[in-house]
Amino acid sequence: MCRGASFQVADNLAETRDISTLRIPDDLKPRDGRFGSGPSKTRNASLEALIKSSTSYLGTSHRQSTVKSQVGRVRQGLKELFGLDDGYEIVLGNGGSTAFWEIAVCGLIERRSQHLVFGEFSSKFAQSAKACPHIEDPQIIESPVGAHPFAVAADDIDVYALTHNETSTGVSMEIARPDGATGLVVVDATSAAGGLRFRPSECDVYYFAPQKCFGGDGGLWLSAMSPAAIERANKLCKDSRRWVPAFLDLSIAIENSLVDQTYNTPSLTTILMLAEQVDWMNQNGGMSFSSGRCDRSAEILYTWAQSSKYATPFVSDPAMRSHVVGTIDFDDSIDASQIAKVLRSNGIVDTEPYRKLGRNQLRIAMFPNVDPEDIELLTQAIDWVAERL
Ligand SMILES: *Cc1c(COP(=O)(O)O)cnc(C)c1O
């Protein structure tokens, strides 16, 4: 018996020395190993549509109807998906969500903005506002990572900058106008749009990019804008004496979007893949379908973590736990980076935590393209690896 036990220890030691040889059994492996928070898992059907259209669409002018009709398809499809009221418009341009922060600083913030800062992305927009010479220093309301602060209406605030889903920490917040606020509510929905529900009437600007819930490619920003937001953009970019570079001029972007174009050349690949994805969501039941998939994945992931001996959801308040990006802490007995490494060598990629968060954690995207059954298999694969570290 003693001899058996010592053999067991020796076996474990051998495995510890070289975890790169650990082969996760096939029946515990997700069918698709992409769990990254952006760029995220794409659907093959979107790519097939691209290939099918290649000679008639790729390599053709974005000023002609072939491409314009795809931009129109994206704009119409998103209006339907979000259930936008009349007067709201889908506006788009080049540069991704990061470009939109500079666009907002030029064309949405009139004098002073309020920022809820609870992670890397929300902090970056606040920094853009702070660096901008033509507006006042922003008001920043911060909370420790793992939770989110709440907006507070104030007379001198004309933009409330919220983040629907803070991708760096896995915290999501409900989108609501602060009581008594007169300013515009401007929401970074980059990783939330298409996966988390929201009421369009609760915000004026809901901006995002295609490489998260929409499983497309990066490089584009899109924004659902209320009539008040459109009016603000036109006032600041066209009618005021403020200098706004044309590339960051939201009024020019609006003008182009209304005729299904962009100010300069967009990636046609990105646009077609997005159009395909939005149609897929709408044809299967819209937001209740796509967010329902995220809800199911989140339930599987968090239920597993809560009953695990070594894993816990990082976000302690269940109401703030994101259903699109899950962050799972591991206790000291398990090195999460080793798990991520073994997963990666088995073709299960991008489960590493946000680099600047520096926690013993895995971060798992549960965007609509991710099959909830694959989340289930992923938890089994993690357990299998953890038992062998
Ligand atoms: C990914 C992300 C961004 C940055 O998007 P880019 O298109 O790369 O500029 C901004 N905000 C949030 C919340 C994100 O998840």
CA of 208 to the centre of ligand 1 (A): 7
Amino acid occupying residue 358: G
pTM of the full predicted structure? 0.95
pLDDT band of 6, cuts 50, 70, 90: very low
- Cβ of 219 closer than 6 Å to ligand 1, yes or no, is no
Q: Is residue 104 pLDDT above 50, yes or no?
A: yes
Residue 1 is predicted with a pLDDT of: 36
Q: Is residue 5 pLDDT above 50, yes or no?
A: no
CATH fold of 17-39+286-388, please?
Aspartate Aminotransferase, domain 1 (3.90.1150)
pLDDT (mean) for 327-338: 97
Please report, for residues 31, 105, 129, 368, the alpha-carbon distance to residue 377 in angstroms, rounded to integers and kept in the order given.
9, 43, 43, 16
Q: Which two tokens stand for residue 7?
A: 């053999």
Residue 20 is predicted with a pLDDT of: 79
Q: Is residue 13 pLDDT above 90, yes or no?
A: no
- Percent of the residues in the chain that have a pLDDT greater than 70, as a whole number: 96
Residue 322 is predicted with a pLDDT of: 98
Residue with the two structure tokens 């929300």: 122
- Cβ of 98 closer than 6 Å to ligand 1, yes or no, is yes
- Cβ of 121 closer than 6 Å to ligand 1, yes or no, is yes
Specify the ligand 1 atom closest to the Cα of 164: 13
Residue 273 is predicted with a pLDDT of: 97
pLDDT (mean) for 340-344: 97
The answer to whether 321 and 172 have CB atoms below 8 angstroms apart is: yes
Residue 197 is predicted with a pLDDT of: 98
Q: Please enumerate in sequence order all residues whose Cβ is within 8 A of that of 113, keeping only pairs 6 or more positions apart, or say none.
A: 129, 135, 138, 139, 157, 158, 159, 160, 161, 186
Domain boundaries, the chain: 17-39+286-388, 44-283
Residues 170-190 have pLDDT tens digits of: 999 999 999 999 999 999 999
CA of 188 to the centre of ligand 1 (A): 8
Nearest protein Cα to ligand 1, atom 14: 190
CA of 197 to the centre of ligand 1 (A): 18
* CA 31/CA 27 separation, integer angstroms: 9
* CA 67/CA 129 separation, integer angstroms: 34
Q: Is residue 3 pLDDT above 70, yes or no?
A: no
Residue 220 is predicted with a pLDDT of: 98
Q: Is residue 200 pLDDT above 80, yes or no?
A: yes
pLDDT band of 10, cuts 50, 70, 90: very low
Residues 56-92 have pLDDT tens digits of: 999 999 999 999 999 999 999 999 999 999 999 999 9
pLDDT band of 18, cuts 50, 70, 90: confident
- Which run of H or of E encompasses 236? none
Residue 14 is predicted with a pLDDT of: 47
**Please, what is the end-to-end C-alpha distance for the chain in angstroms?**
24
Sheet holding 159-163, edge to edge: 89-94, 220-225, 205-208, 184-188, 159-163, 113-117, 139-142
* CA 321/CA 146 separation, integer angstroms: 9
Q: Which two tokens stand for residue 277?
A: 């994805």
CA of 120 to the centre of ligand 1 (A): 10
CA of 24 to the centre of ligand 1 (A): 32
- Cβ of 97 closer than 6 Å to ligand 1, yes or no, is yes
Q: Please enumerate in sequence order all residues whose Cβ is within 8 A of that of 268, keeping only pairs 6 or more positions apart, or say none.
A: 57, 58, 60, 62, 67, 70
pLDDT (mean) for 308-331: 98
- Which run of H or of E encompasses 164? none
Residues forming beta bridges with residue 73, ordered by sequence position: none
- Percent of the residues in the chain that have a pLDDT greater than 90, as a whole number: 94
Q: Is residue 240 pLDDT above 70, yes or no?
A: yes
CA of 354 to the centre of ligand 1 (A): 13
Q: Which two tokens stand for residue 189?
A: 């929905």
Q: Is residue 379 pLDDT above 60, yes or no?
A: yes
CATH fold of 44-283, please?
Aspartate Aminotransferase; domain 2 (3.40.640)
Read off φ and ψ for residue 57, nearest 5 degrees: -120, -60
Residue 121 is predicted with a pLDDT of: 98
